[in-house]
Structure 1
């Protein structure tokens, strides 16, 4: 029988931590709790977790510091969701750049937390490493080499186009929000992401007006659909 996913929740607020533990347990997850970074490390040294949920604003060592250390340690592949205070955009950006898989602003609806947990666990279960190459209507993109080729001919990409295609290729078939694309590339602004997507479609799509590879996900952002 498949074991339920084991989730670690790290939050110094006893009420939020216990309520979150209780709700996730009712939804079928196995849940452990930690009051601070030191407690979380002890648990992670002795147990395997499928997902860690870290509050950013904790006394002493904060969630961003804990995230950075997780990404350098033996549990580096563990997916991480950050809990952020609403409006703390800089923390959210720093967290994504440090390797967070998702973020959720407080206060949050428990049902949304569950849906986000399930989405992260689905991604981590089916995508160990991202593919080395993706194929799109006769084109081949190799993210490691930063090359888009048609046969032996290399198709020139600007730095911004290469960054965008690389981020999308890390998660083939999965939507990536416009906000995250703005953060993770040099676009900086969501409207700049839209401009780069339009330009990239001209180089990739058989018909840029009816894109089949870089698809718009309404209300979210974009996803890359290889052949």
Structure 2
């Protein structure tokens, strides 16, 4: 396991599923809290910090997509969505809302465990960045590779776990294009469900989200460029 002490929050209105997931993940070394709906989850999040949130989409009241959007306004905690709707368009909607991964039901508990560990591994470590420059400058934005932190002047820019992983990948090879296929592999999505096309589309969504945070004009990116036929490239100052 990536981190035996990682604290997970399970949010699902189905008491049976919630209990089974909690028991399974505890057996695999995690600390697990559970919430029955979005309101309950919000109360837990006010007093506790979590390493990852596993969130059901189809819940009465505030659904998982709406809750994800709201949480992304103030939290960078990784979010995995669970849903009975597994179409590519549904996965894109979840990723656009700010989720880091999307697992259709029914699923094997082992796959959930592998995906959770993959998400937790995306947080960059100091050892991975010691040989690279400690700071990258993207116009008024600076990115600290050792801390995995991004700043606009004195204001921190919140990055999700996937956005942090993308910055780590691109920062390891500035001014060199990285193919979408390689990004899928590095982000761990090659082990998931869906076609390669849908996986690459999911990466495109993450790139779009990251550009909104680092580009003055995301539609005409200066720093996170599209290299036709080759993928994406980070071009720092």
TM over 0.5: yes
- Per-residue CA deviations over 1:132-158 (Å, capped at 9, x if unaligned) read 95465xx715xxxxxx7xxxxxxxxxx
1:5 to 1:134, Cα distance in 2 relative to 1, 3 A = closer
Distance 2:199 2:53 in 1: 20
Select the structure with the greater relative contact order (CA < 8 A; seq sep ≥ 6): 2
Contact 1:84-1:91 at 8 Å conserved across structures = no
Residue 136 of structure 2: aligned partner: none
Residue 109 of structure 1: aligned partner: 108
Residue 97 of structure 1: aligned partner: 96
Residue 142 of structure 2: aligned partner: none
With the length of structure 1 as denominator, give the TM-score of the two structures. 0.63
Length, aligned pairs only: 167
Q: 1:84, CA displacement in angstroms?
A: 1.3
Q: CA RMSD in A?
A: 3.4
Residue 199 of structure 1: aligned partner: 229
Report the structure number with the largest CA radius of gyration.
1
Contact 1:79-1:124 at 8 Å conserved across structures = no
> 98-107 or 38-47: which moved more?
98-107
Distance 1:32 1:175 in 2: 25
Distance 2:53 2:94 in 1: 13
1:197 to 1:175, Cα distance in 2 relative to 1, 3 A = farther
* Partner SS state of residue 28, structure 1: coil
Residue 14 of structure 1: aligned partner: 15
Distance 1:119 1:104 in 2: 13
Q: 1:121, CA displacement in angstroms?
A: 0.8
With the length of structure 2 as denominator, give the TM-score of the two structures. 0.60
* Partner SS state of residue 115, structure 2: helix
- Per-residue CA deviations over 1:14-72 (Å, capped at 9, x if unaligned) read 00000000000000000000000000011011000000000000000000000001100
**Counterpart mapping for 1:112-131 below 5 A:** 112-124=111-123, 126=125, 128=148, 129=164, 130-131=167-168
Structure 2 gap ranges (5+):
126-146, 149-163, 191-195, 206-225
